[in-house]
């Protein structure tokens, strides 16, 4: 069974330049660490980049909401016109 060991720890010629063998693309520990980092950054709104991103996101949401409301108003108007 040669094709099975895709994430094999054994070095293959094309992966010989890797510094460390990678058994998996992401180990559970790495994923957990990334999740905790994301959680802390989300919980901590004091960082400038997060606040900027949040402001941009809220603006986008507001714009999308306005567009949605406009669309709803148009459709309801159309519905009233047809009835």
Asked, for residue 74, whether it belongs to a domain, the answer is yes
Residue 4: predicted pLDDT: 55
Residue 29 lies in a domain: no
Residue-wise over 68-77: b if at least 16 C-beta within 10 A, else e?
A: eeeeeeeeee
Give the model's confidence band at 12: pLDDT under 50 very low, under 70 low, under 90 confident, else very high: low
Query: Rounded to whole angstroms, how far apart are CA atoms 9 and 24?
Result: 9
Residue-wise pLDDT for 18-63, tens only, equals 555 555 555 555 555 555 555 555 555 555 555 666 677 777 666 6
Q: Is residue 7 part of a domain?
A: no
pTM of the entire structure?
A: 0.21
Q: What's the pLDDT score for residue 58?
A: 73
Element (H, E) at 30: helix 28-43
- Whether 9 is in a domain gets the answer no
Q: For residue 70, what pLDDT band results from cuts at 50, 70 and 90?
A: low
Evaluate whether 3 touches 9 at the Cβ level (below 8 Å).
no
Question: What is the total count of domains within the chain?
Answer: 1
In a domain? residue 68? yes
Q: Say if 53 falls within a structural domain.
A: yes
Note down the domain range covering 81: 48-83
């Amino acid at each position: 069974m040669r094709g099975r060991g895709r994430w094999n720890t054994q070095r293959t010629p094309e992966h010989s330049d890797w510094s460390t063998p990678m058994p998996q693309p992401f180990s559970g520990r790495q994923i957990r660490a990334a999740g905790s980092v994301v959680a802390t950054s989300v919980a901590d709104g004091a960082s400038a980049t997060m606040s900027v991103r949040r402001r941009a996101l809220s603006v986008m949401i507001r714009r999308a909401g306005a567009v949605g409301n406009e669309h709803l108003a148009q459709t309801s108007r159309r519905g009233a016109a047809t009835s």
